[in-house]
A and B are shown apart, each in its own frame.
Chain A
Amino acid sequence: MVHAAAPRTLYDKIWDDHVVDTQPDGTCLLYIDRHLVHEVTSPQAFEGLRMAKRKVRAPEKTLAVVDHNVPTTDRSKGIDDPESRTQVETLAENAREFGIEYYNELDKRQGVVHIVGPEQGFTLPGTTIVCGDSHTSTHGAFGALAHGIGTSEVEHVLATQTLIQKKAKNMRITVDGTLPAGVTAKDIILSIIGEIGTSGGTGYVMEYAGEAIRALSMEGRMTICNMSIEGGARAGLVAPDQKTFDYLKGRPKAPKGMAWDMAMKYWETLVTDAGAHFDREVKLDAANLPPIVTWGTSPEDVVSISGTVPMPSAAPSEQKKAAIQRALDYMGLKGGEKITDIKLDRVFIGSCTNGRIEDLRAVAKAVEGKKVASTVSAMIVPGSGLVKQQAEEEGLDKIFKSAGFDWREPGCSMCLAMNADKLAPGERCASTSNRNFEGRQGFKGRTHLVSPVMAAAAAIEGHFVDVRKWA
């Protein structure tokens, strides 16, 4: 472990404490404290272990859960789709064979892997966390160095509990000021991606700082870190503070007693030192941010709710002009259209970006006593079985159902549409998820990314509305 005297960033500190070995060219072997596994990106990794007669080095540091492929309807009688069923059964079998703790589709603790980790206290400050899923960046909200990996790397971590890595550069994104009413963590991160572009963070780990970030709940911080990957960054980080510790205390897998006290001593050192070097700094004023809607097929295609769809002719380069035109053709939009004139067929509320209890409370508050527009089909998918249970204890499900929302079982659902929840060709959806790529929510489906409260208001009105002026 390195203890350099020079001021270090939060990323530097976590990195330094996990380096097992450094080669002369700077390539490092990084120790991995926590490994989350799901059914879609792991079968080939376990198969690789089996073929090479290798074991899982630290099964107790590995947690498996099904999420991507499970139906969000009643699952008590099994899964109909044979391919999905095979993948789910394969994970169950692999977890059993290699001695890994596993939450199946009927377990209360099951849910989207990035909601389950924090909920169980598996996600802890100062740890390194990986998963074969790009939205692993979510866990950075706790001051953990967390990022997605491919299946070959899943196999590498299973076999060695390490990853071969080169250190990324440091970027700090400071968001000061106070968010206006109706503007949320989702609007902050979409604004950041709009500012830096989807490749702006490539090669960096991004630390989010500033009073607007400190003011966010853990749920809000997770929403921000979750979409770091959409800005191209390897990982996102927020320094842990009292909110982090309060969130974690008493969680099933969080340390207890003396171990907690010892951990706290370490966690309190997890801040960027004054004068530490950042390769790039970005600043935003929260007070100026509006509710954001994406108009195109990349998360950088952002616009204010009070704005219009861009004109290709206004693009700064030929490549960009072609990209805008392609996106408009796909989305069935014309340059200059008002965002509030865009009508919707579907609304999806859920995902590892916005499927937590705070998101559902915000939606319930917005739709209580109202009705979903007759032209819209709207679905709410809680992020985990425990989120679902809590929402039901609070009576949120009754509010949703009486407003005409479909209340589902937990999973990734229409965020990536691997299960039966998907858009039909040409359908337009307001979605609280993280990607508006072509075909993401279904072949030829059209996705607009928004915050939960914006999605809720759009469901009621049948088109986008400015929630700052809507009641």
Chain B
Amino acid sequence: MQAFKTLTGVAAPLDIMNVDTDMIIPKQYLKTIKRTGLGTGLFSEMRYKEDGSDNPDFVLNKPAYRKAEILVAGDNFGCGSSREHAPWALLDFGIRCVISTSFADIFYNNCFKNGILPITVSQADLDKLMDDARRGANATMTIDLPAQEIRGPDGGVVKFEIDPFRKHCLINGLDDIGLTMEKANAIADFEKQNANARPWA
């Protein structure tokens, strides 16, 4: 997994509540057996017109945001299905950080497995960051994960909280499975104990 330490880039405003995973990546893109190449499907129902051409009104189609690496979005981002295709699509498009007031549980987990940082902030901070994002390409933000802060274009700083273990894994780009494999003895012990206590399971 790609490590995440700091990121300076354009932030796109997506001021919609309850952005669900069907919106992020519609089902027709889920027929793939690969993780890559999903960027073209990102937000496709909002991003493209019925004839397949770009919808110029959608934020990521505006020249200032075509290279956005940060998304500032409304409450409950990523609700709905467990499809990891949602963070895969964000990543493939080039987005490495999503900022919102809350995230759905499974989407939030999935981000960390893919080197994407989801940041939860207060409504007041989100309003401020949304305003910053609306200023387009001239207003880049810096995400500093080790310092746990977002630095805005005018030098304003927003601090954020993050689980220490998740932070550690993201900064070091650690592979979860590798970490768990180191505990193979504990798993085997549990299985032995379980075979006696709950053999029916």
Binding site for B on A (CB under 8 A): 1, 17, 20-21, 23, 25, 27, 29, 31, 33, 40-41, 43-44, 47, 52, 54, 57, 68-69, 81, 83-84, 86-87, 90, 124, 126-127, 132-134, 136, 147-153, 155-156, 159-162, 164, 166, 198-199, 202-203, 229, 232-234, 255, 259-260, 262-263, 266, 298, 319-320, 322-323, 326, 416-418, 425, 435, 437-440, 443-444
Contact = CB atoms under 8 A, between A and B. Distances in A.
A418 B31 contact: yes
A126 to B, nearest CB: 7
A150 B183 contact: no
Given A126-B201, A437-B80, 5 more contacts: A17-B198, A43-B33, A263-B200, A298-B20, A418-B30
B179 to A, nearest CB: 8
A365 B174 CA distance: 56
A154 B97 CA distance: 23
Nearest to A149: B82
Contacts of A255: 200
Interface string B19-33: 010110011101111
24 contacts: A1-B193, A25-B163, A25-B165, A27-B163, A33-B201, A43-B34, A57-B187, A126-B198, A133-B81, A134-B82, A136-B82, A153-B110, A164-B176, A198-B76, A202-B103, A202-B105, A255-B200, A260-B200, A319-B75, A416-B81, A417-B27, A438-B23, A439-B22, A439-B45
B158 interface: no
Contacts of A23: 165
A40 B16 CA distance: 27
B186 interface: yes
Interface string B25-47: 01110111111000000000100
Contact of A443 (B45, B74, B103, B163): B45
Nearest to B198: A266
B200 A124 contact: yes
Given A232-B76, A443-B45, A52 B22 contact: no
B104 A232 contact: yes
Contacts of A134: 80-82, 106
Interface of B: 15-18, 20, 22-23, 26-28, 30-35, 45, 50, 74-76, 79-84, 87, 102-106, 109-110, 113-114, 163-165, 176-177, 179-181, 183-184, 186-187, 190-191, 193-194, 197-201
A21 B183 CA distance: 8
Query: 5 closest pairs, A vs B, by CB?
Result: A152-B113, A43-B33, A150-B110, A150-B84, A148-B82
A27 B165 contact: yes
A161 B201 contact: no
Contacts, number: 186
Contact of B187 (A68, A160, A262): A160
B28 to A, nearest CB: 8
B82 A202 contact: no
B23 A437 contact: yes
Contacts of B16: 323, 326
B109 A153 contact: yes
Most chain-B CB neighbours within 10 Å: which of A23, A199, A438?
A199
Contacts of A81: 31
Contacts of A202: 76, 102-105
B82 A41 contact: yes
Given A87-B31, A150-B110, A323 B187 contact: no
B75 A199 contact: yes
Nearest to B194: A31
B45 A148 contact: no
A160 B163 contact: no
Contacts of B200: 124, 255, 259-260, 262-263, 266
A263 B27 CA distance: 40
